[in-house]
Amino acid sequence: MILEIDNFHNILNPEQRNPEPDAPEHMKSICILLCTFLLTSCTMNDNSYNFDLQGHRGARGLMPENTIPAFLKAMDLGVDTIELDLVVTADGRILVSHEPWFSHLFTTRPDGEPVTEEEERSLNIFNMTFEETQQYDVGKRVNPNFPNQETMEVTKPLFSEAVRTIEQYAEENNFPKPFYNIETKSNPEFYGEMVPQPEEFARLLYEELTQLDSQLGVAERIIVQSFDPRTLIEFRKLNSAIPLAMLVSDQRPMQEYISRLGFTPEIWSPNYRLVTPEMIAEARERGMLVIPWTINRVDEMRRLLMMGVDGIITDYPDSAAVLR
């Protein structure tokens, strides 16, 4: 289980607080995360672990990905953290989506026909208003990669709508309020064409989080992650307290990423196939948590937990129940 912690007050406005003079904000964030997640090494018995269970795109193996039904399903299954992806529309709204376009794997056009692979990138969300995005269904077709998904008519939600709905659902069902691990879907190849420039993306996200925090008090439960170091760099300029996660898909040295960032992120989040005891040891020495993605087999989850990772990101949060 996850330990309860005190609220991290005014995390979006660190200058309004009175921290200890020798306690940098990012170190306070590390302490918060360590108190919350760093429990893996303490097991209840040989088959039970304490770890941060993250529902990947909600519960992608069971429900249409990155939709409100997927997030609520993840809550029903007891996740600690909702993992989701963000893009930006033409009118500057922050939309939940893994790609900055409509995927051919599961999208239905307004005329009822499936989106084809050839046309998907022409359906550029960065060139659409939010209202235009709502004409595309992303749930009533079977995703061939996840045949056990429940199908339904559903659209990509605004980030703010998703958070408000999740928070209300948690309150109504007496669930613990979740953490949100939010990925900025940014790629230098797409700057200005499919995604905003990093400075703009960071600003829009910061403003959205500030507003949500003023209404719902979510800031102490936010993590920002990205494969693109530039969005993390720009976000850190705006806020030094919210934990950041570096997503990693290759075997370049940890120091290379840290040098590019100019700071040590709070979380190292590699592809699970890259995780080794040596990687975990180096991350520990640098003060980082290790939360790999995306693990869908229970035997792999168990292997990684025994190795010492701090969390599991999975499409099937129901499968992880046997490990808790």
Residue range 2-48, pLDDT digits in tens: 333 333 333 344 443 333 334 455 555 555 555 555 444 444 455 68
Q: What is the CA radius of gyration of the chain?
A: 19
Domain ranges across the chain: 23-99+157-323
Q: Would you give the DSSP letter of residue 14?
A: G
The pLDDT score that the predictor gives to residue 22 is 43
Q: Supply angle C-alpha 54, 284, 37, rounded to 5.
A: 30
- Distance between CA atoms of residues 36 and 310, nearest Å: 10
Ordered alpha helix ranges (H), 9-140: 25-37, 68-76, 130-133
pLDDT value, residue 48: 82
What pLDDT, in 10s, does the model give residues 277-307? Answer: 999 999 999 999 999 999 999 999 999 999 9
- Mean pLDDT for the chain overall: 91
Phi, psi at 295, each rounded to 5°: -105, 120
Interatomic CA distance for residues 96 and 149, integer angstroms: 18
Residues of the chain scoring pLDDT < 70 = 1-47
Contact 286, 265 (CB under 8 A): no
Topology of 23-99+157-323 in CATH? TIM Barrel (3.20.20)
Q: Rounded distance, CA 63 to CA 139, Å?
A: 8
pTM for the predicted model, two decimal places: 0.89
Inter-residue contact 258 to 235 (CB < 8 Å): no
